[in-house]
Amino acid sequence: MMVQLSEEEKQLLDAIRSIERYPDDEETGKKLTSTPENLRNRGILIQKWTSGKQAKLADWTNAFESLLTKGLIQRDGSVYVLTDLGRPYAARARTERIGKRYSNILIRSERSTAHSLFCERVFGKDLCQANLMDMMQLEKLLEVLNLTSENRVLDVGCGIGKIAEYISDLTHAHVLGIDIAGGAIERAQARTQKKRDRLEFQEGDLNNLSLPVSVDTIIAIATLHFAENLEKTIGQMKALLTPHGQMGLFSFQYCFANDTPDILLPDNTNLAQALKKHGMSFKTWDFTEREKEIWHRQRQAATELMEQFRAEGNLDLCEGRIEECEEDLPRLDAGKKKRYLYHVQLP
């Protein structure tokens, strides 16, 4: 029987899960524990990221006690942790929040004239890119996969679905796109209704890839960093593949303070290690320099189109793109980030 949760309880579970997954404090770099103060600070960051800079955190006074009573959290001194019963609820709250946020962003982006111009300038074609997939990289992916109308493809984290639609239109492959952004999936379904014979979309979570179908090709474009357990996700992806199946995976790897520089090598990244643990060999292509070029184009285009975004009421979309540049360009320039395409071919 499902436990009913208030919005405050969901926020608190989400914050505990966030610190559990990302314990490093962004300002000090120190490891955080789930004390009430740290949880509230993380909750404020989550709400600002989700709902904007003016978002306020709900009062959690009663949420702590009610979650303890329901057995979803437990307390060790001043630290709160998830119980085995509470962890799935926390994961669900997080997925629900992220899905709503990305649905809002993706739907507004698709409807935005400024965003369409932005994508054309930065990526070469407006496919409502929420990632760094320009046409040169997409063409390389299609060259490597060599898709035809005989292929059955799963796009993991398809967003609004325009890249999946482009791939299906070009190759006539049957493509199924999944994403946690339920509103974006509904929009993709409505937009492509006349192509249903070869193009489908459904709500799905890469942390629980339990689909009643098999496919011969899986693509994931900068979405695997959302996996809570990458090794588990890769295993579930492998289980969906038919014999001789393949994967085309765009992924990036950071090198943080506690990492050795070797983690940036294509055979040593987190994705590479997960693939190896499942006995899968791969080929890689390095797109790090291309990513640098895209970030510079993105910053320029976003700056030039800022007033048009503002006039539409979409200034946050523009500012978000610029903030991404300011975060990642220094890492790339310092040699602390790499971007690769991985191609896996099963025997």
Q: Kindly list the domain boundaries of the chain, sorted by start residue.
A: 7-83, 110-345
Percent of the chain surpassing pLDDT 90: 82
Element housing 113 (H / E): helix 113-123
- Average pLDDT along the chain: 93
Domain 110-345 top-level CATH class: alpha beta
pTM, two decimals, is 0.90
3-state class (DSSP) for residue 146: coil
> Regarding beta strands 199-203 and 174-179, do their DSSP bridges make them parallel or antiparallel, or are they unpaired?
parallel
Which one of 1.10.1060, 1.10.10, 1.10.3470, 1.10.238 gives the CATH number of domain 7-83? 1.10.10
> What are the tens digits of pLDDT across the range 249-264?
999 999 988 889 999 9
* Encoded tokens for 91: 């994961």
> What are the tens digits of pLDDT across the range 318-345?
999 999 999 999 999 999 999 999 999 9
**Among candidate residues 130, 319, 157, the one with its CA nearest the CA of residue 122:** 130
Q: Which amino acid is at 125?
A: K
Q: How far apart are the first and last CA of the chain?
A: 43
284: number of CA atoms within 13 Å, CB side?
20
**With contact defined as beta carbons under 8 Å apart, do 320 and 302 qualify?**
no
The pLDDT value recorded for residue 278 is 98
Distance CA 167, CA 139 (A): 10
